[in-house]
Structures are given as C-alpha cells and as structure tokens.
C-alpha cells in the first residue's frame, strides 16, 4: 500500500480479485494483508465479515492515527 490511499488500494485489490474470480474471503484476506501492520491489526481485531466492513474499519483507524 505504501503511500496509496486506502480507498485506492481497496479498488485496486477488488479489480485484481475480479480478474481471477476470487472469493469474498480471499479478497478480504488480500486486502487486509496488504495494509500497514498497525492498520491490519486493528481491522482484524474487529473481525470484518466483508471487504466493505474491512475498508470502513481501515478508514476509522486512519482517522484515529
């Protein structure tokens, strides 16, 4: 993710997942795995059950930090 916004990263991850017909679970895993460690830990602690919830949680963590 480096200097990319979380929304841009989520969109890029979704596009790649669509190209390989990845499951929602795989998409969520790939998204969280590519986040900065602190953000990924926060997202995982909330146990999101969808990519949208994971993205929303990542946004919250970014606002808090």
Indicate whether 58 belongs to any domain.
Answer: yes
Average pLDDT over residues 5-21: 95
Indicate whether 60 belongs to any domain.
Answer: yes
Q: Give the pLDDT of residue 31.
A: 96
**What is the value of pTM for the model shown?**
0.89
Q: Give the pLDDT of residue 5.
A: 92
Number of domains in the chain: 1
Domain enclosing residue 27, as ranges? 6-64
Indicate whether 1 belongs to any domain.
Answer: no
Question: How far is Cα 64 from Cα 12, in angstroms, rounded to an integer?
Answer: 24
Q: Give the pLDDT of residue 3.
A: 75
The whole-angstrom distance between residue 19's C-alpha and the CA centroid of its chain comes to 17
When pLDDT is cut at 50, 70 and 90, the band that residue 38 belongs to is very high
Mean pLDDT, the chain, integer: 94
Q: Give the pLDDT of residue 1.
A: 57
In eight-state DSSP terms, residue 21 is T
The residues near 18 (Cβ < 8 Å, ≥ 6 apart) are none
* Alpha-carbon distance values, 44 to 19, 20, 56 (Å): 25, 24, 12
Indicate whether 59 belongs to any domain.
Answer: yes
Question: How far is Cα 24 from Cα 37, in angstroms, rounded to an integer?
Answer: 21
């Amino acid at each position: 993710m480096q200097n990319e916004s979380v929304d841009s990263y989520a969109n890029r991850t979704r596009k790649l997942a669509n190209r390989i017909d990845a499951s929602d679970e795989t998409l969520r895993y790939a998204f969280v795995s590519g986040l900065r460690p602190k953000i990924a830990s926060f997202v995982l602690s909330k146990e999101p059950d969808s990519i949208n919830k994971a993205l929303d949680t990542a946004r919250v963590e970014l606002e808090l930090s």
